[in-house]
């Protein structure tokens, strides 16, 4: 029973932290709750679909189907976060202005909200499909009663969601003028985290069978399964023993998005003859 709750908690945690950070980064934007809820709802719906299609997915592509689907989900999520980061840097001034005038239409924020909404949906989808399969397996082949299973699953979900809420509430303590700067960095690191997981997936799928050795191993210091390890993994992509390939993907993603944002920002801030 405890084991069930812990597994559900672990699956929930990453998506919950993701949602907490995204929710904080869109604080004060018009319609953001609607967009993010839509993302979560689509993710949950997708989880059920994906879980029910899992037997075909598993067998597909000579047994590499799961990896390929995961890779596609991660690539799409990465594109959404990259788009958001670059878009935000182009509109940073408007966003700060909008955030200060509370209750404004904040039209500038909505244009990248859809991207974040999709990213949230994909995050829920990835963890959700696994959770559905796990719970489905419990229901079909476990000696525990339905009530016990339901309680453990709900407890795991609730504690995971609580962690996401705590991150959101914690970020709420940041001064409004600094909030975007902080959440932009966090979203950049979330993109790095996704890229690192993409590297692991592509290595597993035998698409990129390179640089598979550990970049480092500090599992004795703080393992991936420890509470701070799991928390930091969800927030900044902490990994106690990443492959070199993962490190390469993480670092280059963060650099590429950062410099692309700076480049776009410079272009936008150039004096223009006919300002939009």
Partner 1 sequence: MSLFMFRRLVLMTAFGLALSVAGLSNVRAQEIEKNLVIKNHVFEPAELKVPANQKIKLIVHNQDSGAEEFESKSLKREKVIAAGAKATIVIGPLKPGKYEFFGEFNPATAKGVVIAE
Residue from 34, 100, 262, 267 touching partner 1 (CB under 8 A): that is 267
Q: How far apart are CA 105 and CA 75, in angstroms?
A: 31
- By CB under 8 A, is residue 133 in contact with partner 1? yes
- By CB under 8 A, is residue 111 in contact with partner 1? no
- Of the ranges 138-146, 150-158, 169-177, 230-238, which one interacts with partner 1 (CB under 8 A)? 138-146
- Of the ranges 12-20, 59-67, 92-100, 153-161, which one interacts with partner 1 (CB under 8 A)? 59-67
Q: Give 107 or 207: the residue with its C-beta nearer to partner 1.
A: 207
Task: Give min distance, CB of 191 to partner 1, in A.
Answer: 14
Q: Give the CB-side neighbour count of residue 219, counting CA atoms within 13 A.
A: 7
Q: How far apart are CA 229 and CA 183, in angstroms?
A: 20
How far the first Cα of the chain sits from its last, in Å, is 59
- By CB under 8 A, is residue 23 in contact with partner 1? no
Q: Which of residues 209-228 bind partner 1 (CB under 8 A)?
A: 209-210, 212, 219, 224
- By CB under 8 A, is residue 7 in contact with partner 1? yes
- By CB under 8 A, is residue 127 in contact with partner 1? no
Whether residue 219 contacts residue 64, with contact meaning beta carbons closer than 8 Å, is answered with no
Q: Give 107 or 206: the residue with its C-beta nearer to partner 1.
A: 206
- By CB under 8 A, is residue 3 in contact with partner 1? yes
Residue from 134, 151, 165, 258 touching partner 1 (CB under 8 A): that is 134
Q: How far apart are CA 85 and CA 78, in angstroms?
A: 11
What residues line the site for partner 1 (CB under 8 A)?
Answer: 3, 7, 54-55, 57-59, 62-67, 86, 90, 129-130, 133-134, 136-138, 140-141, 200, 202-210, 212, 219, 224, 241, 243, 260, 264, 267-268
């Amino acid at each position: 029973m405890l084991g069930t709750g812990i597994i559900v908690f672990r699956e929930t945690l990453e998506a919950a932290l993701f949602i907490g950070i995204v929710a904080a980064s869109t604080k004060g934007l018009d319609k953001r709750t609607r967009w993010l809820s839509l993302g979560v709802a689509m993710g949950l719906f997708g989880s059920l679909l994906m879980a029910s299609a899992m037997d075909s997915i598993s067998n597909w592509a000579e047994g590499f189907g799961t990896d390929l689907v995961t890779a596609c989900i991660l690539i799409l999520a990465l594109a959404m976060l990259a788009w958001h980061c670059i878009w935000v840097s182009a509109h940073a001034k408007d966003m700060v202005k909008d955030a200060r005038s509370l209750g404004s239409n904040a039209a500038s924020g909505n244009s990248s909200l859809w991207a974040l909404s999709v990213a949230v949906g994909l995050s829920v989808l990835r963890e959700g499909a696994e959770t559905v399969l796990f719970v489905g397996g419990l229901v079909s082949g476990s000696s525990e009663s339905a009530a016990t299973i339901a309680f453990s699953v709900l407890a795991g979900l609730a504690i995971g969601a609580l962690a996401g809420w705590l991150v959101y509430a914690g970020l709420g303590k940041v001064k409004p003028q600094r909030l975007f700067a902080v959440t932009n960095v966090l979203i950049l690191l979330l993109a790095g985290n996704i890229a690192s997981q993409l590297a692991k997936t592509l290595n597993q799928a035998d698409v990129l069978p390179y640089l598979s050795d550990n970049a480092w191993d500090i599992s004795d210091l703080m393992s991936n399964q420890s509470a701070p390890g799991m928390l930091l993994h969800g927030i900044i992509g902490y990994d106690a023993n990443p492959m070199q390939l993962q490190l390469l993907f993480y670092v280059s993603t963060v650099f590429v998005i950062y410099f692309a944002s700076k480049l776009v920002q410079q272009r936008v801030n150039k004096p223009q003859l006919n300002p939009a």
